[in-house]
């Protein structure tokens, strides 16, 4: 019936009709980090036109992927439904798939707190994880990254004002890591931690050198078939 339907009775087609429109999956990506207000989403997706953002949110609600929730006290937020949250493994796999094709950032490309958080989740290897507690700085984004017993927790330090459920861990991190876009090559195993430091793609501002090794082992994406 809808003119814009793919005209097939198939699960993939249905999925693409629900989350295949432009920007939709990036909205889901940010909501996987936590509930977000309209303005949070707009900031996390700097290039999205506001009319597209509201259209997508409406469509995702109709599709049962997203719902609106009143924010304790005042305002409102969008969050994934359980059905929407079931996209998490798919989005992580998609992020891993896209990783080798990232190349170098285009001029004007940004890294947002939510995209970096999800990037850490895509690269996280529970099986090889070492315990960690560090601050990761990329551009003006700063995250607190804590790994304990194979479980990853990421909290946003800056830009501040953790959107909704942001709970700041107490105490100081063991290390502070400042990275540029080249950190992709460390995660991808193209270079070793030592080379990464030598080539200035990361700098260990505070903490012991072995922490960088633990980081590289814990966050890693294997090369895909060329």
Partner DNA sequence: CCGGATCCGAATCGATACTG
Partner DNA sequence: CAGTATCGATTCGGATCCGG
Beta-bridged to residue 36, according to DSSP, are: 78
The two tokens of residue 138 are 């990329």
**Please, which of residues 98-157 interact with DNA by CB under 7 A?**
none
- DSSP-assigned beta bridge partners for residue 119: none
Q: Which is nearer to DNA, 16 or 201 (CB)?
A: 16
Q: Which of the stretches 44-52, 93-101, 105-113, 118-126 binds DNA when contact is defined by CB under 7 A? A: 44-52
The smaller minimum CB distance to its own copies, of residues 49 and 75, is found at 49
Rounded Cα gap, residues 9 and 1, in angstroms: 12
Q: Residue 102: which of DNA, its own copies, none does it interact with, CB under 5 to 8 A by kind?
A: its own copies
Q: CB under 8 Å to 35, separation ≥6 — which residues? A: 69, 77, 78, 79, 163, 164, 165
Find out whether 208 and 177 touch, Cβ atoms under 8 Å.
no
Give me 1's structure tokens.
Answer: 């019936």
CB of 50 to DNA, least distance (A): 4
The interface partner of residue 37, options being its own copies, DNA, none and the CB cut-off 5 to 8 Å by kind, is: DNA
Assess contact for 26 and 67: CB atoms under 8 A.
no
Q: Is the dihedral of CA 190, 90, 26, 7 positive or negative?
A: positive
Footprint of its own copies (CB under 8 A): 1-2, 5-16, 18, 20, 22-23, 25-26, 29, 45-47, 63-64, 81-83, 85-87, 89-91, 93-102, 105-112, 115-116, 118-119, 122, 181, 224-226
For DNA, the binding residues (CB under 7 A) are 3-4, 21-23, 37-40, 47-52, 54-55, 57, 68, 71, 75-77
């Amino acid at each position: 019936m809808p003119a814009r339907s793919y005209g097939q009775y198939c699960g993939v087609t249905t999925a693409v009709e629900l989350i295949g429109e432009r920007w939709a999956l990036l909205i889901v990506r940010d909501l996987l980090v936590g509930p977000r207000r309209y303005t949070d989403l707009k900031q996390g997706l700097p290039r999205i036109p506001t009319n597209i953002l509201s259209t997508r949110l409406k469509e995702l609600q109709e599709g049962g992927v997203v719902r609106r929730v009143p924010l304790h006290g005042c305002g409102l937020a969008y969050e994934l439904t359980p059905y929407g949250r079931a996209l998490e493994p798919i989005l992580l796999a998609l992020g891993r798939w896209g990783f080798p094709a990232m190349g170098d950032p285009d001029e004007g490309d940004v890294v947002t707190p939510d995209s970096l958080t999800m990037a850490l989740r895509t690269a996280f290897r529970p099986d090889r994880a070492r315990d960690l507690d560090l601050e990761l700085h990329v551009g003006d984004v700063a995250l607190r990254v804590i790994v304990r017993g194979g479980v990853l927790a990421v909290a946003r330090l800056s830009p501040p004002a953790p959107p909704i459920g942001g709970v700041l861990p107490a105490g100081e991190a063991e290390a502070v890591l400042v990275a540029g876009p080249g950190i992709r090559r460390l995660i991808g195993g193209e270079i070793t931690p030592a080379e990464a430091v030598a080539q200035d793609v990361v700098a260990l501002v505070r903490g012991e050198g072995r922490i960088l090794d633990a980081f590289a082992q814990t966050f890693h994406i294997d090369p895909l078939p060329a």
